[in-house]
Amino acid sequence: MTIASVLLIESGRPSAPSFAPALEKKGFAVTVQHEVGPAIKSAAKSPPDVLILDAASMRTSGSRLCRTARANLDGVPIILISPAGTGSDTANGSTVNLVQPFTARKLVNRVHRLLPGDDRYSLQAGPIKLNLVQRKVKVYGRESRLTPKQAKLLELFMHNPGKLLTRKQLIREVWLTDYTGDTRTLDVHMSWLRHAVEGNSKKPQFLRTIRGMGYRLDIPS
């Protein structure tokens, strides 16, 4: 059984509480860092399974630090611990934003949910397996990382195998708009998605174009 690795960035003040003991007690391999820059630089070379950024212990909102982490660690789930009285928005790039106060048990549960091997957060359609948290797709042993829009597109197709999804449907669900005057953005994202999913993106086996209508996910029997 592989031990999940957790990078915990927290304050170095002796008086600041730490979640490290609670995480280690649950069997995680915890690396504690006190400086964000060096920690992220090191993590970029050897990404952890989960990054916890304890902004509350550092007496900051953590938004800027979180954006820096996301820019350098795309695909790594980030749990941001925010001070009491702040919002729980994840627009700063965090995967989960926990606002103080909360229990160590709640943090541990969130870490468990973000682990890449947790099938509760994966979809499978034929040979295609999508990890919804880490936005990674694996097809015949080949793994690729997706952008949020690509992952959402693939998720829609995997929930509707064999069904035609019109351009209007896809734009409405992924881009949250009914404007269909320009579908080039959709087509470009579909091209990128095919590079991640198909063995030969020019001769797609799974993501088929239905000319003049939209796209369909075909799963071989």
pLDDT in tens, 5-45: 899 999 888 888 899 999 998 888 899 999 888 998 988 88
How far apart (Å, rounded) are the C-alpha atoms in residues 114 and 117?
Answer: 9
How far apart (Å, rounded) are the C-alpha atoms in residues 207 and 216?
Answer: 6
Residue 2 has pLDDT above 60, yes or no: no
- The average pLDDT across 136-147 equals 89
Q: Give residue for tokens 């789930």.
A: 77
pTM of this structure: 0.55
Domain that holds residue 75: 5-114
- Residue 15's contacts (CB-CB under 8 Å, 6 or more residues apart) are none
Task: Verify that 66 and 153 share a domain, yes or no.
Answer: no
- The whole-number pLDDT of residue 91 equals 62
Q: Is 82 or 216 the better-scoring residue by pLDDT?
A: 216
Last residue of a domain, one of 97, 114, 131: 114
- The average pLDDT across 202-212 equals 94
Task: Verify that 203 and 124 share a domain, yes or no.
Answer: yes
Other beta carbons within 10 Å of 12: 11
Averaged pLDDT of the chain? 87
Task: Verify that 15 and 103 share a domain, yes or no.
Answer: yes
The per-residue pLDDT for range 107-122, each reduced to its tens digit, is 998 898 887 665 656 7
- The average pLDDT across 125-151 equals 87
Last residue of a domain, one of 114, 139, 160: 114
Task: State how many domains the chain has.
Answer: 2
